[in-house]
Structure 1
Amino acid sequence: MLKKIFWVGIGIGVGALAYRKLSEAKDMASPAGLNRAVGRLGDEAAATLAAFRHGMTSKEAELRASLGLDPTDSGSAGRHAASREN
């Protein structure tokens, strides 16, 4: 008898989980669900690009400091200095 109650409980749990997952999938297929998914994707892409830009500017500052270039200059002085040395 205890074995049957156990398996009935397992069946109810699996059924409830399946119902919840199917409801979420149905919600995601609606226009509002697709808008949320696209919005999340856009937010993640923007965050990734922001992190990339931050890393790029910090690395550029590090390289400029190690080369002794003026960080306020737009990079033209480094090119002019290199061309004058040739």
Structure 2
Amino acid sequence: MFKKIFWVGVGVGVGALAYRKLSEARSLAGPEGLNRVVGRLADDVADTLAAFREGMAAKETELRDSLGLDPASEAGRGRHTAADPTK
């Protein structure tokens, strides 16, 4: 008796999961769904790049501090053009 109730419960659970997945797939099939997916993907890429830039800036600051470099004097270095004879 309990074995049958268990398997009925499993069947209901699997059926509900399948229904939810099919509904999700159906909503993603249209142009609106594609726009949502692409938008989420673009947001994820932008978030990843922002985190990468923050990490780079933090590491650069850490390296400059450990080497004793002044960020203000180093910021302008290497940005002069060859046509500028004063620098």
Query: What is the TM-score when the length of structure 1 is the normalising length?
Result: 0.72
Question: Which residue pairs with 1:45 in the alignment?
Answer: 45
**3-state SS in 1 of match to 2:34:** helix
Question: Which residue pairs with 2:12 in the alignment?
Answer: 12
Structure 1 residues 24-65: Cα deviation after superposition (integer angstroms, max 9, x where no partner) = 011111111111111111111111111111111111111111
Q: Unmatched 5+ residue regions in structure 2?
A: 79-87
- CA distance in 1 between partners of 2:3 and 2:20 (Å): 26
Alignment of 1:23-34 (within 5 A): 23-34=23-34
Q: Unmatched 5+ residue regions in structure 1?
A: 78-86
- Percent identical among aligned pairs is 70
Let me know the Cα RMSD of the aligned residues.
2.0
**Greater helix proportion:** 1
Corresponding residue pairs, total: 77
